């Protein structure tokens, strides 16, 4: 290491900070001291200049420390700004996606209503079959079916302990949505039952379903009771 090399590296901005320059300057003096006899002029001058350099370095050190602190704060702020910018970009992307999904949902709802309007009216027999099919749903699927009803009926409480579902009072949109949902749910139930043979883990399934059977029976009884009332004809 020599001073001309240090100068070239400084001009090329190869040093990351002042402390790296200081290390190379010390290296020049220490090399001169190490490879020359203690009583030689080179050794003595190198030792003297190193002492002078350390004295000047101590005077300069507070400014160096202050500059390093300022740079750390700037880097931290730059990092924070970058993080905030990324978070803002992510938030904007999330909002855009949410808005797009909302528009898609609205469009799908419009298409669904358009399809329902073009569909024929649900017959009394189809409503009776739909009510019967609802009673064959699993407790979980029955809850989902009740949620479909709640979407079109503000006062309908799908999660109440007792639910009175009047099939005839439902809109055509609700009836068709229920019909498609029930059809798919029963198909999945049948495939699942066929694949397990209907007997595997029967004790476990019975224990898991016992807590749900009571509520399901109450809902199904209410559906059947309502359907029966609607099917009665007035006496002549």
As a three-state string, the secondary structure of the chain is CCHHHHHHHHHCCCCCCHHHHHHHHHHHHHHHHHCCCCCCHHHHHHHHHHHHHHHHHHHHHHHHHHHHHHHHHHHHHHHHHHHHHHHHHHHHHHHHHHHHHHHHHHHHHHHHHHHHHHCCCCCHHHHHHHHHHHCCCCHHHHHHHHHHHHHHCCCCCCCCCCCCCCHHHCCHHHHHHHHHHHHHHHHHHHHHHHHHCCCCCHHHHHHHHHHHHHHHHHHHHHHHHHHHHHHCCCCC
Q: Which domain holds residue 198?
A: 124-231
Tally of domains in the chain: 2
Within-domain flag for 225: yes
Within-domain flag for 116: no
Task: From first to last of the 236 residues of the chain, give the pLDDT tens digit.
Answer: 899 999 999 999 999 889 999 999 999 999 999 999 999 999 999 999 999 999 999 999 999 889 889 988 999 999 999 999 999 999 999 999 999 999 998 998 788 777 767 777 888 888 888 888 888 888 888 888 888 888 877 777 767 677 777 888 888 888 888 888 889 999 888 888 887 765 555 554 455 455 555 555 556 555 555 555 544 444 44
Within-domain flag for 47: yes
The CATH number of whichever domain residue 62 belongs to comes to 1.20.920.10
């Amino acid at each position: 290491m020599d001073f001309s090399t240090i100068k070239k590296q400084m001009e090329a901005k190869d040093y990351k900070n002042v402390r790296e320059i200081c290390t190379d300057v010390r290296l020049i003096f220490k090399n001169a001291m190490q490879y020359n006899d203690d009583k030689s002029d080179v050794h003595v001058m190198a030792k003297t200049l190193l002492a002078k350099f350390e004295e000047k370095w101590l005077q300069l050190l507070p400014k160096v420390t202050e500059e390093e602190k300022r740079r750390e704060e700037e880097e931290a702020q730059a990092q924070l700004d970058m993080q905030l910018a990324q978070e803002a970009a992510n938030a904007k992307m999330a909002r855009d996606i949410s808005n797009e999904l909302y528009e898609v949902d609205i469009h799908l709802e419009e298409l669904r209503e358009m399809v329902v309007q073009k569909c024929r009216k649900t017959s009394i027999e189809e409503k009776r079959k739909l009510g019967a099919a609802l009673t064959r749903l699993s407790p979980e699927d029955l809850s989902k079916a009740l949620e479909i009803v709640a979407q079109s009926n503000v006062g309908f409480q799908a999660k109440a302990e007792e639910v009175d579902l009047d099939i005839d009072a439902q809109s055509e949109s609700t009836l068709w949505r229920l019909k498609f949902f029930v059809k798919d749910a029963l198909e999945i139930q049948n495939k699942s039952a066929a694949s397990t043979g209907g007997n595997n883990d029967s004790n476990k399934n019975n224990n898991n379903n016992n807590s749900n059977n009571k509520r399901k029976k109450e809902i199904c009884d209410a559906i059947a009771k309502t359907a029966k009332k609607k099917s009665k004809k007035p006496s002549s």
